[in-house]
Amino acid sequence: VLVLGLMSGTSADGMDAALVRITGAPPRLRAQLLGSHQAPFPAPVRAAILRLANGAPTRTAELSNLNFLLGQLFARTALEALKKLRVPPRRVALIGSHGQTVFHQGAPARFLGPPVASTLQIGEPAVIAERTGIPTVGDFRVADVAAGGQGAPLVPFVDYLLYRHPRIARVALNIGGIANVTVIPAGAGPGQVLAFDTGPGNMVVDALVSRFTRGRQSFDRGARLARRGRLLPALLDELLAHAYFHKRPPKTCGREQFGASYSERLIAWGRRRRARPEDLLRTATLLTPLAVVDAFHRFVAPRLRAGRRRAIGARPAPPIQLIAAGGGAHNPLIRAQLEAGLRGSGVEVVSSGALGVPEDAKEAFAFALLAYESFHGRPANLPSATGAQHPCLLGKLCRPR
Ligand SMILES: Nc1ncnc2c1ncn2[C@@H]1O[C@H](COP(=O)(O)OP(=O)(O)O)[C@@H](O)[C@H]1O
Ligand SMILES: [Mg+2]
């Protein structure tokens, strides 16, 4: 069947759509990307999303309206994608729409008395189903949170299906607003998959760029600005001392840690030391790959080494593959620093495109698969990744007329 995945991540840069042909069932599920499409959010919509996601006060009316407006925009993006790919909507069996996260608190905290964990993705799936005529699954994260999990990350289920290999250990890295890894030891079962957020991806750099350009640019294409700057070692040391990087996985983070107030502090640091904007940008850009490399050496390599000794005895191990995806995989400075930091560790950095799903389509692709699993009534969270008490059936189905 054909399934369309729709995604917008923490960057809130826009909507990604991926059309996927899927057959079978795990472990022999086959999925092929037929094409993808991207559409940016209109500037005022992006601003509203960022305001909410950064915890600014809002009115219930704004939240409700934004939920429906995003549903309309996702529906339009779905129809545009199908038009571009010349596939009539009636041939598409299902849409899986992640929606836009505006709040995420995976770990319970006291609220009006008892501890509560919660997560909110908006972009009303009923609107998508109505406007496309295609059954739509949305709200994937809540079931996992209800079962005591963090509700994230969910993509590791798909990474495992796509990338598990009997002899090659693989690490799927996604550099979105936040950067995260899925660690799949050679020959691993689903219970041995480790997944966690390594820290900020593009979120901090995006915030700095839009500040320094007074909103004229929303990100540093090709690292053009950061490349003109110099690394500020004192700042980098301070940034890397953040408690999050030292915390043992599984762990997740978001705008709550690395959002507006984090970049405000960074800008204030720069003002006090009269640092040049391009130097701050270079330092913030390098924080992303350095945190990934640090997490790799601290938490990932020990696990993979243990697994590899078991799997292949004394024979020389094939290189570990680090499969890069997400918008940050296009950033040449991030790429170069990743490769430099992992040189000599037996790791080869490859683009997700080389393994079948291009960088920009990877997460939308994943939500097509998660919707397919949901539709067939199969659980699709990995409790080893989310911390849920048990596997869960994810998502809610909206049926069109
Ligand atoms: N050519 C590029 N050069 C540098 N950065 C890029 C490039 N393309 C995308 N990005 C970065 O990737 C971000 C979007 O990545 P994406 O994977 O969509 O993240 P999310 O899942 O959080 O929405 C942009 O905000 C930008 O920072
Ligand atoms: Mg995006």
Ligand 1 atom closest to Cα of residue 218: 25
Neighbouring C-beta atoms of residue 118, cutoff 10 Å: 16
| Three-class SS state of 232 | coil
Residue 53 alpha carbon to ligand 2 centre in Å? 14
Rounded CA gap, 286 and 49, in Å?
A: 26
Ligand 1 atom closest to Cα of residue 12: 23
Rounded CA gap, 311 and 304, in Å?
A: 10
Give CA angle at 359 (371, 210), nearest 5°: 105
Tokens of 359: 């960088």
* Nearby residues of 199 by Cβ (< 8 Å), 6 or more positions away: 178, 179, 242, 244, 245, 253, 258, 287, 288, 291, 292, 295
Nearest CA to ligand 1 atom 19: 176
**Residues 203, 267, 119, 194: what is their CA dihedral angle, to the nearest 10 degrees?**
50
- Pure H helices in 183-331: 203-212, 233-240, 243-246, 255-258, 260-272, 277-295, 301-312
Give the largest Cα separation in the chain, rounded: 64
| Each residue's pLDDT expressed in tens, for the chain with a length of 401 residues | 999 999 999 999 999 999 999 999 998 999 999 999 999 999 999 999 999 999 999 999 999 999 999 999 999 999 999 999 999 999 999 999 999 999 999 999 999 999 999 999 999 999 999 999 999 999 999 999 999 999 999 999 999 999 999 999 999 999 999 999 999 999 999 999 999 999 999 999 999 999 999 999 999 999 999 999 999 999 999 999 999 999 999 899 999 899 999 999 999 999 999 999 999 999 999 999 999 999 999 999 998 877 655 555 556 778 999 999 999 999 999 999 999 999 999 999 999 999 999 999 999 999 999 999 999 999 999 999 999 999 999 999 999 99
The bound ligand whose nearest atom lies closest to the alpha carbon of 201 is 1
The bound ligand whose nearest atom lies closest to the alpha carbon of 330 is 1
Q: Identify the residues whose C-beta falls under 6 Å from ligand 1.
A: 8-11, 13, 176-177, 202, 206, 219-223, 326-328, 330-331, 363
DSSP one-letter string for 293-359: HHHIIIIIHHHHHHHHHHHHTTSPPPPEEEEEESGGGG-HHHHHHHHHHHTTTTEEEEEGGGGTS-T
Residue 214 Ramachandran class (φ > 0 left, ψ -120 to 50 alpha, else beta): left
The reported pTM is: 0.96
